[in-house]
A and B are shown apart, each in its own frame.
Chain A
Amino acid sequence: MTSSETVSGPAPSPPPAPGSDVLLSVRGLQVHFPIKRGLVFDRTVGHVRAVDGVDLDVRRGQTYGLVGESGCGKSTFGRGLLRLEEPTGGSVIFDGQDIRSLKPEALRLMRRRMQMVFQDPLASLDPRQSVQSLLSEPLTVHGLSTADAEEFGRDSSSSHLAKAAAMLEVVGLPRGALAKYPHEFSGGQRQRIGIARAMILNPDLVIADEPVSALDVSVQAQVINLLEHLQDLLGLTYIVIAHDLAVVRHISDVIGVMYLGRLVEEAPSDDLYAQPLHPYTIALMSAIPIPDPEIEDHRERILLRGDLPSPANPPSGCRFHTRCPYRQQTRCDTEEPVLRDLGAVAPGRRVACHYAEEILAGQIAISDPSLQIDPVAG
């Protein structure tokens, strides 16, 4: 085990008490993967610090969006919450219970309340399983919820079938789909089935990892609307992981931006686009193409140099300093910034940059002018 570097600054606020409007509270979450070498004996020669100290709260009924570039640890974070990947440090408090301390049986029971939707959920499943068996499998494992048992009767194959059919209708597929097999559906329909499977146990929290990125552009909106509809209908709380910021911004109330295993910025959805504060977010926002030539021609673009560094060996100090266009001579290379509240400057937001206030006030400019591309007039 590697331990996270000690960072200066205030300690993160303690997790909220049970019954509060915070459903999920994550503190200092770490998921490190050992890097093994050697022919005879596996020797651990280092760790991939995929998730390396993340603190965040998700409120009931809200959608928390998580964005960041490929390899920054978004999926590992989502899997770590459910212990599909064992965290190596930190805590996950779900509705007042510490997930990391649960015994296998208690964890199994807890999982019915936390479900996951994948990019292409059926790609990894047995193609010989019919939709009916895909949907009733979770019911066989966990049983119907109390409310569903009242509606459909005690657990039995007929009550499970009734619930499966009802669920299909909710996601907009005909009952006839029950007898079909995954390959008989389009990508969008398969995602509906994946969503039905995740929601059939009436979970409280759904973690959707790239739920629309495998879909055709014209089909994405259908699935986004479906997710929103189900949230209203079932009172769900979502964590939506995606690299498409426009999609994330559309469905999320709060967005967290990840960089190399850490959260670098968190803000209400609208604020993040209106005024990104962390240099990485500023560059990210400026890089996203907008389908409107008038806007594209008049945008300032901030280029980043290089790639995401290896999470096995993150840069010293601020992890973003190797690519940061605002990097300063002091602190950036040596001192890791904590994710901190900016207070009155930007209420409700957290940023992990030593110089966020100065950058916001325009007191620090981009050091290398070739990284800044100014809008072209006309």
Chain B
Amino acid sequence: MSETVTLEPGGRRGRRATREPVDRHQALLEVKNLNVTFQRRGGRATRAVDGVSFSVKPGEVVGIVGESGSGKSVTSLAVMGLLPSRGVQVSGEALYRGRNLLTMGNQELSSLRGRDLAMVFQDPMSSLNPVIPVGLQVTEVLRRHEDLTRQQARDEAEDLLRRCGIPDPRRRLGEYPHQLSGGMRQRALIAIALACKPALLICDEPTTALDVTIQAQVLELLKELVSELGTAMVMITHDLGVVAGLCDFVNVMYAGRVVESADRRELFAHPRHRYTHGLLNSIPRLDSPRGEALRPIPGTPRDTIAWSKACAFAPRCQFADDDCVVDDLELAPLGAAGHRVRCVHPAPEEDK
């Protein structure tokens, strides 16, 4: 991971949250065989998440990357117990310090959510309270977790907003969410999530709506959080560049399943699944030589087959053949330690 950075010289470093001691080598969150099926009344059941497993250790960033509709948000909402209660079936386990979040009572879960677990959502407006000033939303969280006077909480909130890249934070404290720009709202939301110094932070596309220069600020802040406080982080994104710079371990999702998972260096050096491989080849890169045509993946993520029949990527894969028409392809170890691939004809290792 990257070195500790401090965005502001006056930033508070080294303050540790008072919580049960963490064992940095033991998984803090362990998701095992998570399944989520949506069933609308009268409609067909759709399996949005299909046997997803991953784990996160303290101080580690685990990435979930995939295209629109691949099941990234549903995975995180299921773990946090935030899916609607009707018309959804969830199975599997999400063990937080060994306790299953999926079967935990509502009260226990919501107290855990406010203290140990935090989430930054894709859509900031839906998760900020529109009638409460931003500052109060931050100080509320701070005071719930630490024994602070009102003034101390204000100071800390101001510091936090500043470190999240919000200019003129003292003035912003008194403003309502609608008075902030989209990017500023997203950063306010991140500030609220960081206020309780969560042990586990799930970020769902936290920077997608932000300009790259602001994104860079926010990503530095998140890195700092992970390395200073040992926060365990799940980073959901469709941006392979963000993954390359931030995540220790990466899960690539396609049509509800993890199709490839590896250490980030291994994944980018030796992408083996035909989807990952094709995707990395198709995107224009800032640093690659110009003048060559891109090599796109044909079709769209909507052209898919049920995993129970064949590889869901088969309709778009130029290597698809009869061998790929098997039910429930396995996510199997391949190559370097920890690298797993769900593909019958993986790309050769040297082929980047």
Using CB atoms and an 8 Å cutoff, list the residues of chain A in contact with chain B: 69-70, 186-189, 216-222, 224-225, 228, 243, 245-247, 249-250, 269-270, 273, 283-297, 301, 303-308, 370, 373, 376
Please, how many angstroms separate the alpha-carbon atoms of A139 and B166 in the complex?
50
Please, which residue of chain A has its CB at the minimum distance from the CB of B278?
A: A218
Q: Which of B1-31 touch A at CB < 8 Å?
A: 2-3, 5-9
Decide: A70 near B211, CB < 8 A? Known: A293-B265, A370-B7.
Answer: yes
Q: Assess whether A217 is in contact with B217, with CB atoms less than 8 Å apart.
A: no
Q: Assess whether B242 is in contact with A243, with CB atoms less than 8 Å apart.
A: no
Please, how many angstroms separate the alpha-carbon atoms of A221 and B316 in the complex?
14
Please, how many angstroms separate the alpha-carbon atoms of A251 and B214 in the complex?
25
Q: Assess whether B278 is in contact with A224, with CB atoms less than 8 Å apart.
A: no
Contact residues in A for B278 (Cβ distance below 8 Å) = 218
Contact residues in B for A224 (Cβ distance below 8 Å) = 284, 294, 296
Please, how many angstroms separate the alpha-carbon atoms of A284 and B215 in the complex?
11
Sample (29) of A-B pairs whose CB atoms are under 8 Å apart = A69-B211, A70-B211, A216-B301, A217-B238, A217-B240, A218-B275, A218-B282, A218-B296, A218-B300, A222-B296, A222-B298, A246-B285, A249-B286, A249-B290, A269-B290, A273-B287, A285-B286, A288-B286, A289-B215, A291-B285, A292-B287, A294-B269, A303-B213, A304-B217, A306-B165, A306-B167, A307-B181, A307-B214, A376-B2
Q: Which of B171-229 touch A at CB < 8 Å?
A: 181, 183-184, 211-217, 219-220
Decide: A305 near B165, CB < 8 A? Known: A246-B286, A287-B213.
Answer: yes
Q: Which of B217, B239, B265, B298 has the largest count of A CB atoms less than 10 A from its CB?
A: B217
Is B344 an interface residue, CB under 8 A from the partner? no
What is the minimal beta-carbon distance from A348 to any residue of chain B, in angstroms? 16
What is the minimal beta-carbon distance from B153 to any residue of chain A, in angstroms? 24
Partner of A304, one of B9, B184, B213, B242: B213
Q: Assess whether A291 is in contact with B241, with CB atoms less than 8 Å apart.
A: yes
Q: Assess whether B167 is in contact with A287, with CB atoms less than 8 Å apart.
A: no
| B291-331 to A contact mask, C-beta < 8 Å, 1/0 | 00111111011100000000000001000000000000000
What is the minimal beta-carbon distance from B181 to any residue of chain A, in angstroms? 7
Using CB atoms and an 8 Å cutoff, list the residues of chain B in contact with chain A: 2-3, 5-9, 67-68, 165, 167, 181, 183-184, 211-217, 219-220, 238-245, 264-265, 268-269, 275, 278-280, 282-287, 290, 293-298, 300-302, 316
Total CB contacts across the A-B interface at under 8 A: 157
Q: Assess whether A289 is in contact with B181, with CB atoms less than 8 Å apart.
A: no
Please, how many angstroms separate the alpha-carbon atoms of A376 and B220 in the complex?
13
Q: Assess whether A291 is in contact with B244, with CB atoms less than 8 Å apart.
A: yes
Please, which residue of chain A has its CB at the minimum distance from the CB of B7?
A: A370
Q: Which of B181, B211, B217, B275 has the largest count of A CB atoms less than 10 A from its CB?
A: B211
Partner of B284, one of A186, A247, A292, A297: A247
Please, how many angstroms separate the alpha-carbon atoms of A289 and B275 in the complex?
21
Please, how many angstroms separate the alpha-carbon atoms of A292 and B301 in the complex?
24
Please, which residue of chain A has its CB at the minimum distance from the CB of B267?
A: A293
Please, how many angstroms separate the alpha-carbon atoms of A269 and B291 in the complex?
11
Q: Assess whether B215 is in contact with A370, with CB atoms less than 8 Å apart.
A: no
Q: Assess whether A221 is in contact with B284, with CB atoms less than 8 Å apart.
A: yes
Contact residues in A for B9 (Cβ distance below 8 Å) = 370
Q: Assess whether A293 is in contact with B245, with CB atoms less than 8 Å apart.
A: yes
Decide: A294 near B265, CB < 8 A? Known: A186-B300, A250-B294, A301-B216.
Answer: yes
Contact residues in B for A216 (Cβ distance below 8 Å) = 67-68, 300-301
